Structure 1
């Protein structure tokens, strides 16, 4: 399958197409899209990043980002959405990386739901970014088809564009960390429910549920348990100085920390 064609967007009709696409992806009315035509018009006009991915002339993905702190170095990717199976999301992020580097920027940040395995694998393994901060209820209540009924906890992914892990990932070498022999679970899946473990070992795994998106529909109570457990475990570890260094076996964050006495 040919790679999607990526291009920057500047026209109102193109922005309207993005709104319609995002409404489809987020399963919401166009007026509740994550970004609207006026916002994209202003951001694009001021030199920020608004781009679309096209497959056979059809819009299949889009990304909107704006310049951020640190001034002259940072870009914050507010929203990226793509239809599955076409490679549009990955193509957009690589285009965004090249766009940033051309302007002398060396880091891109974005937020994502840290409970979703495929998102974590994409961000950490395929791109080489790492989550550096846990943000509870970051967006408040949302009523789209993806987030309804769940709290909007997010992880802040930081993509250091010139670091070896990001450069290797951009060349097609996924970032899969070696698992130290003395690694313990801080959180794991036990028959579909979260089971906390130790938080004091030097090498820790934080396992995610197999499919939190389905679980929200089939067992909302279990999904809530997972949300609160991840907030407590991953949020505590990051705030206490632990570092995520990778994503293991498409299922678990791998963290390192200084053991406590």
Structure 2
């Protein structure tokens, strides 16, 4: 845990600190905050998941979730924010997993932007979660420093807490599936832009850009082109029943379909 202390939060003062942490991460437009103090207070009071990570007495990460359907089986992790590159997000997920298992839950779900490569790697490789649904413009257009007015396509990640790959991942063994030699690139990156390919093979590779957040700031037109390309290829494949089975070190979703 590298000196981290994780604990559930309940007081207004603690939740106001979480609100400020999230504000510093997302810099949302007024009214666009990922969650309010009042809602966190209500969720904590009714037995849901509101947890902070502290290092040296300073809040460095937090996560908020709520019980979801099917009742008694699922925790939905609504928002998690943490400093990047210090193991805080992983520590929060481990805490969240233990919290869920202690309550007899077997799954944690959350949504994430499928274009953010580091999040895809974290969710699929480091945690062993799997995307199970492509959600088009799930939150509408989002005006904050990370989304910068882009449409909010999201992937629903499902973390099945007792599956072998998840147990291995939380032990520190990343989930790196092999890519068969006959895999076909359905969406590639060329000169910074997406290029569509074939989608008629059993195993397909779908690329995402190296840094979509920087691209939104420097070239929003190309960022939107990537959004629609990934939606048209990956979203369509998943809509047809194809399964995402992993994420490659080169920044590709690995997709298996029936042909």
Shorter-chain TM-score tier: over 0.9
Alignment of 1:1-261 (within 5 A): 2-28=2-28, 32-259=32-259
- Give 3-state SS (helix, strand or coil) of 2:179's partner: coil
Change over 3 Å in CA distance of 1:29–1:150 after alignment to 2: closer
Report if aligned partners of 1:194, 1:229 keep a CA contact under 8 Å in 2.
yes
Report if aligned partners of 2:49, 2:64 keep a CA contact under 8 Å in 1.
yes
Q: Distance in 1 between matches of 2:103 and 2:74?
A: 10
Report if aligned partners of 1:4, 1:53 keep a CA contact under 8 Å in 2.
yes
**Cα RMSD, aligned residues only:** 1.2
Which stretches in structure 2 are left out of the alignment for 5+ residues?
Answer: none
Q: Distance in 2 between matches of 1:148 and 1:217?
A: 7
TM-score normalised per structure 1: 0.97
Equivalenced residue count is: 259
- Give 3-state SS (helix, strand or coil) of 2:100's partner: helix
After TM superposition, what 4+ stretches of structure 1 lie above 3 angstroms from structure 2? Answer: 29-32
- Give 3-state SS (helix, strand or coil) of 2:168's partner: helix
- Give 3-state SS (helix, strand or coil) of 2:149's partner: coil
Deviations along 1:111-135, one digit per CA (max 9) or x if unpaired, are 0000010000000011010111100
TM-score normalised per structure 2: 0.97
Report if aligned partners of 2:148, 2:217 keep a CA contact under 8 Å in 1.
no
